[in-house]
Structure formats: C-alpha cells, structure tokens
Chains A and B, each alone.
Chain A
Amino acid sequence: MAEERCRNCVYFQPHIFFPYIGYCDANEKPAHEHGTCEKFKKVSLDELLSALNRKGGVYCITCGVTIVDRSELENHSREHRVVAGIVFDEAIAAEARSAD
C-alpha cells in the first residue's frame, strides 16, 4: 500500500526536471513529494482517466512523454509513474536555444 505522501497523490504535479518538488492542485501551493495532508487522494487509473478527459493529456514521468490516449494510459499506468499534470518551468522559454 502506497504511503499517503504527496508523491502518490493525484493533486501533486511534479516539476518537469526536479520531480520531488511540485505544485499541489488541491491546496494551490508548492508542495514536496514527502509532504502529507488531509486532502490526500491516491493516484489511480480512474483518477488519471478523469484527468485525461478533463485536460486532454497526462504525463508519464518514467518515459518523459505526454499521453493523450486512453489505452496508452492504461498501458503506462501499469508499471510507470504517471501524473495528472506537471509543472512546466517558465525559464524553459528563455533557456531554450534556437535549435532548428
């Protein structure tokens, strides 16, 4: 049974590069993967499917890809760490190089 830590919570959106820190959708504030709170809701396939429907996509941390298809989500969620959303760093636009 997974611990009731942010890491396993559906509201926790990890940072794209440093996934131990992120944003909590429920408390609307920064969170750390080891944090806990009474709003904890375990990540489950149903929750992810609902996020997929709501947002159009969820993210597989293990593979580093965005999932937009239900059956793909089912496949990933079996063994990978899939999250309902990630924190996209705002510095990326400035950091990115002209690259094509």
Chain B
Amino acid sequence: MSYSELSILLGGPQGSGLETAMLMLSRALAYRGYGVLADREYFSNITGRHSYVLIAVSTRRLPRSLTYPVQLLVAMDAETIFTHFENVDVGSVLVYDKEVEAKKLTELSSMEDALRGRISNNLRTSMLGDDVSSLLKSFESRRVTTIGISYQEVLKELVERFSLDPRTLSKYVSGIVTSSAALILGLDREALRYGFESVFRGRATVVEQNMYLADLVWKELREFEGLLKLKKPEIDVEKVLVATGNDVVAMAKVVSGLRYQSYYPITPAADESFLLEKYELSEVGGTIVGPIVVLQTEDEIAAIASAIGASLVGARSATATSGPGFDLMVEGVSWAGMNEVPVVITYYQRGGPSTGLPTRGSQSDLLSSVFSAHGEFAKVVLSSGDHLDVFYDTIEAFNIAEKYQVPVIHLLDKFLANSTATLPLPDLNTVKIDRGLLSKGQEGYKRFSLDSLVSPRVFLGTPGIVMWYTGDEHDELGHISEDPVNRVRMYSKRIKKLQLIEEEVPRDIKLRVYGHVRGDFCLIGWGSVKGVALDALEVLEKKGYRGAYIEVKMLWPFPAREFLEAIDGVELKRLIAVEHSYGVNIVALISMATGLVISKKVAKFSGRPIVLSELVPAVENLLTTDANYVVLEYGE
C-alpha cells in the first residue's frame, strides 16, 4: 500500500535531537520532491520537557495544513508514547526505543501532573496498565505496527566503533529517528544522506557516522522498509525553500532593503533577528547587500525607539517582537504615528495574557494591535496566511510604511514563525520597492507640510536641510504648537491618510476570496487560519458542502468595502469566523466596520494550531445544528 498524504509525529525530550531530526527529514523529503509542513510544539524550557513535531507530508502539493490522527509516530522516549497514544491512526506505525518498554506513567518526572492525570484516567477507562508495554499491547488491537528498536544497541555500537564522546549522542539519536522514519516512508539512502549533509554542513565525519547508523537501522528494521510507502511525488517544482516563518521574514527583510533591525529577545520572534544578523552584509558577484545594523537593545522600548530613529535618517527599519514586547512598544508606535515615521513591527503573536503560553500559538492580539497606542492616527495592520504570503507581505509592509509614512504592524503568529514549510521560491521580478514621496528638500523645507496628506519626506541628515520632530502637536516645521486651528489641520491630516490607504492599497493586499462565495458557507479568517481553511473547503466539498474562505489580510484600516462586496448576496447565517482566540475577534472588527454581526464562530485557544480533522466537523456542526460557537481543543 502506498500513500499520497501522511501525518507524522516525532516526539522526545526537548534538546535530545528532535529539532535536527525534523530538519533532516524535511530536507530529505523535499529533496525527493515531497511537500512538507512541520509544526514545532515545545514547552517554555531549555531541555527535558516533552517536545514534538507534527508533520504533514504530501506527494500532491506543498501542504497547507496539519491533521490528526498520525500514521507514523516516532517516539524517542516513553513520555511521547503516553502523550500521543490517542493521536495515532488505526493501522499506523509506531517506532519506539525498546529500552522504555518497562517505563511507567508515574515514573515520567518531566510530565505535567494534569496530563498524567488525564492519561491515567484514560488508561483506567480502557482497562490498560500504566506502563509502556501495556500500551504496546493495546496498539495491536488497533492494528498499529509497533517497531521496537534498541537505541541502546545502536548507540553502543556507534560509540564503540567511532569512540564517540557521549556528549554528542543527541546528534546520532536524531539520526536514528530520521533513518527509521525514512525507511518506513520508503525514502532511499541517497535522500537520507542529503538530509544529513544539509544539516551537518561541512562535517563530513558526522555525516558518515550517521550513514553508518542508517545502515544499522536498515539492517535492524529491513522487514519494515516502505511500510508507509509514499507515492511518487507529482508536485511540479524544481526547487523549494525549506524554511520557517521566522526565516522567511528575515529573507524578505533583506530583499526589501532593510537596513536597521532592533530587537529584544522574545519567543517566537528572536530567531528572525538572529538570522538577520547572519545576513547583515552579503557580497555576491560584486553586489553588496547591506549593511544591516542588527541591534539587540536593552528592552523593547529601546527597540522601537531606535528603529524610529534609524527611519528618520532614511534607513528602512524594523523591529520584531511578540505580545509582551509589543505592549512595551506602544508609546513608541504613538510617537511614530504623531511624527509620520515609516517603521515596521513584525509582531509574532503567542498565547497571552501576560507571559501566557510563551511557546504556543495564538491570534488573540488582533484587537490590541489594531487599537494599540493612545490618540488617533493612521497605522496599518497587515496579516499573512502562509509562508509565501509572509515573504511578499513583509516587503509590502515596508512599501506601505514608506508610501504613507505610517507605522505598519505585520501581525504573524507562532504557528507561522516556528513551522517549517516547503514553499516555492518567491519571484522577485514581481517585487517592487516603493519608498514613497522622497525629496532632497529646499530652502524653508517643512517636514509636515500641509500641502498634501503625505508630506514630501527628506531624510534627517540631508545636506542643507534642518528639520524638527516632536511628540507634541506641531506645526509644519515640526515645532511644538498648541494652536487649535493648527491642531485640527494636523490631527486630521494624519488620520485622513487612512482613507488614502483604503483607496490606494491593492485589493489583493487587503482581502482574498477563495472558493465559492455563494455556496453553502463562507469561512472568514486571517493569518495562519488560511491553510487549514482552504483544505477544509476541499474536504467539505467532497462531503457535499460548497464553500469559500475570505481571508482578511489588511486588518486595519479594515477593508469594509471589499468585504461587503465579497459577501454580497450571502446570508449572514452562512458566515463562519475562524480564529485562534476565545473571542474570534475578527467578528468585532467586521461589525465595527460594516455593521454586520457574524454569530457563527470557531475558536481555538489551547495554544495548539487548528487541525483539519477538527475544523471540518466543527463547520459541519455549525451548518447542521443550532450551534453558534465551537471551541476546538485537539492536540497535546
């Protein structure tokens, strides 16, 4: 039997090689032409707590969503087997370390008590013992092929053969995980070698040792080779990017001409700035790209303040943060609004309030970003639905910021930030850099000239020109003014830029419609809901429901006209809003902008991504019953 789509879960203690395994497997799969989407789930912890990767693999396309149950579970430890016992499909495959067979649930010190309690109850209800071997037995009744491999034997042989330093074991454990998954999926060893090489770049010995290890795994598990054989891939791509959302933002910022990035370490944003540092200056074929000054500041307040400072002198500048950091930046956003400063804030949402779920995903900061900062002024909030959109939108964020001289918040989330995807290479021929209305100035230059809504921008430091900026209300020169007449004109000028943005920003940046709007239902969402919503449309269509997905990309100013056009003729009761939050708060924005009150909502705020297998029944439920609000909770 062969498969065109599979769900895979790799689990183990954080720090034990999972990250490397995910990268190697994703790259090996991509190399052979398969599409991969891998969500990384981990605790706020450096090492020891349970961590896992949920992977969608497809032979037909670059996957957009994740789903349960999984057909392959590779468990590095007992905790993974206990935790994900219920996530595996009938007829699936489990690969585990034989050494853990005797482990009991009560012995897992790293497991949270709440989960232990739930699992314990489930085991009791199913009349199962609380050790791994009991679970293994019960798997048999679910026709799960359980494949034990003695990590100990494999590692022992490896350590002895290569006199390995035990401090490096994780590197090889990731090799066991990757090799066994590859073997079961029917990947060949050349692909596996590619996976090893692309991760252990320049470390030929480690690659060879891992290949030796792969041979051991192959010898041990030969009978299971191709047990979940993937079909021949039919995705028509010659090259793909294998990258996380953080990576994609960094790449796009380099392309966009970013020249200053400030940040204060925070999850899930910090990886982006780390990567930018690596690309702060490139020289390729005589072209110098950069320099990008990447500054780790003393706090987020300094991050936004210094980014604004850099923008004043003409650098494309940005900062990246998450909810707690953005909260600190808000006064700076207000200053940027007051002084019409183009600056981009890449905002990766995570679970709040407060520290909340620092490593888990959420879309619960929609309203707090749209309505952030005191006073009224123009700012733009953009969202992106998938990795490729993230790329183009990042560049668009800078274009909008500079064209309208406004702060732009690019609202992403942890799911996009941390998930690794295969995506097509962006086409830079379609990309424009729009720096807006720039001028070299002239005698008597007025930075805040009232002659137009967007005043010609001269960079501070331009020869012969002097200008003032102030957070106080100011006149055209930028000097403090409390004059009521000036106040009205200046205040209105800044706010009216919103109308300009509404009129001029291309429709495709504001809102996108997928599927059949005048069908049975219409999903409405934004950001990382896109992939799973689009896949849900397909599944529901097969079940006899035709539907559409309306993706609101520009969240502020809200594209009311486009939204109303999109849903023209659709009954209100057929609209279903979907969001990773409690309130499904896009509904509030829509209501504010259009007067329409959408009552059907799908919410998820467990910190885990919405998966296809739960969204489909949720939508069916809303379509066939009186239910108005469905809360999704699947995933550990």
CB within 8 Å of B: which residues of A? Answer: 15-18, 20-23, 29-30, 32, 62-65, 87-92, 94-100
Asked whether, in the complex, the Cβ of B166 is within 8 Å of the Cβ of A95, the reply is no
A residues in contact with B430, CB < 8 Å: none
B267, CB-defined interface residue at 8 Å: yes
B167, CB-defined interface residue at 8 Å: yes
Chain A residue with minimal CB distance to B46?
A96
Asked whether, in the complex, the Cβ of B159 is within 8 Å of the Cβ of A99, the reply is no
Within B459-496, the residues touching A (CB, 8 Å) are none
B346, CB-defined interface residue at 8 Å: no
B17, CB-defined interface residue at 8 Å: yes
Asked whether, in the complex, the Cβ of A18 is within 8 Å of the Cβ of B167, the reply is no
Closest 5 CB pairs of A and B: A91-B170, A92-B15, A64-B109, A17-B16, A89-B170
Alpha-carbon separation in the docked complex, A73 to B202 (Å):
44
Would you give the shortest CB distance from A59 to chain B, in whole angstroms?
Answer: 12
Alpha-carbon separation in the docked complex, A17 to B20 (Å):
15
B112, CB-defined interface residue at 8 Å: no
Would you give the shortest CB distance from A7 to chain B, in whole angstroms?
Answer: 12
Would you give the shortest CB distance from B421 to chain A, in whole angstroms?
Answer: 17
Within B136-179, the residues touching A (CB, 8 Å) are 151-152, 155-156, 159-160, 163-171, 173-174
Asked whether, in the complex, the Cβ of B15 is within 8 Å of the Cβ of A22, the reply is no
B44, CB-defined interface residue at 8 Å: yes
Alpha-carbon separation in the docked complex, A81 to B265 (Å):
37
Asked whether, in the complex, the Cβ of B155 is within 8 Å of the Cβ of A89, the reply is no
Asked whether, in the complex, the Cβ of B20 is within 8 Å of the Cβ of A97, the reply is no
CB within 8 Å of A: which residues of B? Answer: 12-20, 40, 42-48, 51, 76-77, 99, 107, 109-110, 151-152, 155-156, 159-160, 163-171, 173-174, 265-268, 270-271, 355, 358-359, 418
Asked whether, in the complex, the Cβ of A99 is within 8 Å of the Cβ of B45, the reply is yes
A residues in contact with B165, CB < 8 Å: 23, 30
Asked whether, in the complex, the Cβ of B107 is within 8 Å of the Cβ of A62, the reply is yes
Asked whether, in the complex, the Cβ of B155 is within 8 Å of the Cβ of A21, the reply is yes
Residues A91 and B15 in contact in the complex (CB < 8 Å), given A17-B169, A18-B155, A97-B40: yes
Asked whether, in the complex, the Cβ of A98 is within 8 Å of the Cβ of B270, the reply is yes
Would you give the shortest CB distance from A66 to chain B, in whole angstroms?
Answer: 11
Can you pick out 23 interface pairs between chain A and chain B where the beta carbons lie within 8 Å of each other? A15-B166, A18-B173, A20-B156, A21-B155, A21-B159, A30-B165, A30-B166, A62-B107, A87-B169, A89-B167, A89-B170, A90-B170, A91-B170, A92-B15, A94-B19, A95-B15, A95-B16, A97-B42, A97-B418, A98-B268, A99-B45, A99-B46, A100-B266
Chain A residue with minimal CB distance to B274?
A98
B residues in contact with A99, CB < 8 Å: 42-46, 267, 358-359
B residues in contact with A92, CB < 8 Å: 15, 46-47, 170
A residues in contact with B160, CB < 8 Å: 30
Asked whether, in the complex, the Cβ of B15 is within 8 Å of the Cβ of A20, the reply is no
Would you give the shortest CB distance from A24 to chain B, in whole angstroms?
Answer: 10
Asked whether, in the complex, the Cβ of A20 is within 8 Å of the Cβ of B99, the reply is yes
Chain A residue with minimal CB distance to B168?
A90
Asked whether, in the complex, the Cβ of A97 is within 8 Å of the Cβ of B166, the reply is no
Asked whether, in the complex, the Cβ of B267 is within 8 Å of the Cβ of A21, the reply is no
Alpha-carbon separation in the docked complex, A9 to B266 (Å):
43
Asked whether, in the complex, the Cβ of B152 is within 8 Å of the Cβ of A20, the reply is yes
A residues in contact with B163, CB < 8 Å: 29-30
Alpha-carbon separation in the docked complex, A74 to B355 (Å):
36
Alpha-carbon separation in the docked complex, A99 to B417 (Å):
13
Chain B residue with minimal CB distance to A13?
B166
A residues in contact with B168, CB < 8 Å: 89-91
Partner of B267, one of A30, A65, A97: A97
Asked whether, in the complex, the Cβ of B44 is within 8 Å of the Cβ of A18, the reply is no
Would you give the shortest CB distance from B106 to chain A, in whole angstroms?
Answer: 11
Chain A residue with minimal CB distance to B267?
A98
A residues in contact with B45, CB < 8 Å: 99
Alpha-carbon separation in the docked complex, A91 to B168 (Å):
7
Chain A residue with minimal CB distance to B107?
A62
Would you give the shortest CB distance from B547 to chain A, in whole angstroms?
Answer: 36
B residues in contact with A23, CB < 8 Å: 165-167
Partner of A22, one of B19, B51, B166: B166
Residues A16 and B156 in contact in the complex (CB < 8 Å), given A89-B15, A92-B170, A98-B265: no
Would you give the shortest CB distance from A2 to chain B, in whole angstroms?
Answer: 18
B residues in contact with A21, CB < 8 Å: 152, 155-156, 159, 166, 169
A residues in contact with B270, CB < 8 Å: 98
Q: Pick the most buried of A21, A23, A62, A99: most chain B CB atoms within 10 A of its CB.
A: A99
Q: Pick the most buried of A92, A96, A97: most chain B CB atoms within 10 A of its CB.
A: A97
Chain A residue with minimal CB distance to B20?
A95
B residues in contact with A65, CB < 8 Å: 109
A residues in contact with B355, CB < 8 Å: 100
A residues in contact with B173, CB < 8 Å: 17-18
Would you give the shortest CB distance from A62 to chain B, in whole angstroms?
Answer: 7
Would you give the shortest CB distance from A93 to chain B, in whole angstroms?
Answer: 9
Alpha-carbon separation in the docked complex, A64 to B45 (Å):
14
Chain B residue with minimal CB distance to A19?
B99
Alpha-carbon separation in the docked complex, A40 to B628 (Å):
69
Give 19 A-B pairs besides A91-B17, A95-B20, A98-B267 with Cβ atoms closer than 8 angstroms. Answer: A17-B12, A17-B77, A18-B155, A21-B169, A22-B166, A30-B159, A30-B164, A30-B165, A32-B156, A62-B109, A63-B109, A90-B168, A90-B170, A91-B20, A92-B47, A94-B19, A96-B15, A99-B267, A100-B267
Would you give the shortest CB distance from B56 to chain A, in whole angstroms?
Answer: 20
Would you give the shortest CB distance from B78 to chain A, in whole angstroms?
Answer: 12
Alpha-carbon separation in the docked complex, A29 to B160 (Å):
10
Chain A residue with minimal CB distance to B13?
A17
A residues in contact with B171, CB < 8 Å: 91
Would you give the shortest CB distance from B162 to chain A, in whole angstroms?
Answer: 10
